[in-house]
Structure 1
Amino acid sequence: MKLKVHEIFYSIQGESSRVGLPTVFVRLTGCPMRCVYCDTAYAFSGGSNIEIADILAKVAEFGTKYVTVTGGEPLAQKDCHFLLKDLCDAGYSVSLETGGAIDISPVDKRVSVILDVKTPDSGELKNNVWSNLDHLKSSDEVKFVLCSREDYQWARDLLSTHKIAEKCPVLFSPVYSQVSPTDLAEWVLADKLPVRMQVQLHKILWGEKPGV
């Protein structure tokens, strides 16, 4: 069984509650969305078809327990579910970064799903699968990438309406070089939100480029 893989690399996790952890990233090719702030458009196409067993062999070379399957949109390849299961079976601590336009309910329950809920200014609000919020586990996380003050207010209100923070951790992230992290921190503090504010550590360390 093969998946189209754009890159497999070893880096520092730059986001989520796993931030700072040495992690192997398996980036799958392809995505059905076109967010205005996308920083991985290079993964919309290209890559190589690789057997899942060979993906696991490559991951093992790096000698770390943390693996993140990302994209693009990894769930756009249906056989991604087999990769997630096999990684869990191999004893890895696995997270999945998904854009929220595809049903997460079939994902192996051992996987920590990082669900990116699309905001109005992302340009992809219409593609949110809202039922995904009903499938969240305490080990999952919901991420809002915020393009503006208006996006922040929208996410704040959604947080309250759906009681998301009662289900799992919530991440508020400013769009790199567009929303001031200081401003976002002050908004979160003023509203006393039960969220983790995050910046993208890997971009602070290495800038915007593939393989980090």
Structure 2
Amino acid sequence: MAVADSVRVSEIFFSLQGESSRVGLPTVFVRLTGCPLRCGYCDSAYAFYGGETMSFDLVLERVAAYGAQYVCVTGGEPLAQRNCLPLLQKLCDTGYSVSLETSGAMPIDPVDPRVSRIVDIKTPGSGEVDKNHWPNLDLLKSGDELKFVLTSRADYEWARDLIQTRHLAQRCPVLLSPVWQGIDPADLAAWVLEDRLPVRMQVQLHKILWGEKPGV
């Protein structure tokens, strides 16, 4: 198998999209192995290592078996594998509506423009704020989305100030997520309303339905 035609895959599964503006849509998830970050609240640490090397053809075959329109490439940090880029292109060429969930630590400019880039900004509470690749903010387009996972009121205020000073909501949809079983979602909702913040608050639908576990 040629290295140029393969990726290391942790899992491929079919579920409802639990986050972003695509929430609730039946989606095939392709979770790639590996991540250079170690966020304190990570819910996919099992994808840091292991997995299976798969050819692009095999990935496409596994995805096609579910008969879905939407595909989400996630991790780990999918862009840590350089072959993620041609995989995204092949998924788009096949006709899927493709989204990419990325930590925000890697440059997003090489990503196929047909892909909706869901870009995290790591807050101080994540423990990885120094890993943010800040030039990504200037690359965001209307079809992309920006996500903040919040661990505390201090994280919220940090994100709010960044959203306002950089006018981020004018670039693309901005998502605020409370850490699972951390911040009370009702508190976050109250803060957003109090500040009239032009963002989408979200909770993780898949965890509400099935709990925190692989394959959902």
2:14 counterpart of 1:28: no
| Per-residue deviation, residues 17-57 of structure 1 (Å, max 9, x unmatched) | 00000000000000000000000000000100000111011
> In structure 1, what is the Cα distance between the partners aligned to 2:63 and 2:40?
31
> In structure 2, what is the Cα distance between the partners aligned to 1:62 and 1:121?
37
- Name the counterpart of 1:116: 120
> In structure 1, what is the Cα distance between the partners aligned to 2:28 and 2:59?
11
- Name the counterpart of 2:168: 164
> In structure 2, what is the Cα distance between the partners aligned to 1:137 and 1:77?
23
- Name the counterpart of 2:6: 2
> In structure 1, what is the Cα distance between the partners aligned to 2:136 and 2:57?
29
> In structure 1, what is the Cα distance between the partners aligned to 2:12 and 2:34?
15
2:67 counterpart of 1:58: no
> In structure 2, what is the Cα distance between the partners aligned to 1:133 and 1:53?
33
1:127 to 107, 113, 131: 131
Measured after TM superposition, the shift of residue 149 of structure 1 is 0.1
Measured after TM superposition, the shift of residue 130 of structure 1 is 0.3
Q: In structure 2, what residue type is equivalent to 1:127?
A: K
RMSD of Structure 2 on Structure 1 (CA): 0.4
1:201 to 170, 180, 205: 205
Measured after TM superposition, the shift of residue 161 of structure 1 is 1.2
> In structure 2, what is the Cα distance between the partners aligned to 1:128 and 1:134?
13
Measured after TM superposition, the shift of residue 94 of structure 1 is 0.2
State the aligned residue count: 212
Task: Give the ranges of 4+ consecutive aligned residues of structure 1 lying more than 2 Å apart after TM superposition.
Answer: none
1:68 to 68, 72, 89: 72
- Secondary structure, in 3 states, of the residue corresponding to 2:19? coil
| Per-residue deviation, residues 125-156 of structure 1 (Å, max 9, x unmatched) | 00000000011110000000000000000000
Measured after TM superposition, the shift of residue 211 of structure 1 is 0.2
| Per-residue deviation, residues 77-110 of structure 1 (Å, max 9, x unmatched) | 0010000000000000000000000000000000
Unmatched runs of 5 consecutive residues or more in structure 1: none
> In structure 2, what is the Cα distance between the partners aligned to 1:78 and 1:137?
22
| Per-residue deviation, residues 102-127 of structure 1 (Å, max 9, x unmatched) | 00000000000000000001000000
> In structure 2, what is the Cα distance between the partners aligned to 1:169 and 1:74?
21
> In structure 2, what is the Cα distance between the partners aligned to 1:118 and 1:161?
17
1:101 to 102, 105, 114: 105
TM-score normalized by structure 1?
1.00
- Secondary structure, in 3 states, of the residue corresponding to 1:25? strand
- Name the counterpart of 1:146: 150
| Per-residue deviation, residues 170-199 of structure 1 (Å, max 9, x unmatched) | 000000001000000000000000000000
1:174 to 159, 166, 178: 178
- Secondary structure, in 3 states, of the residue corresponding to 1:178? coil
> In structure 1, what is the Cα distance between the partners aligned to 2:90 and 2:168?
29
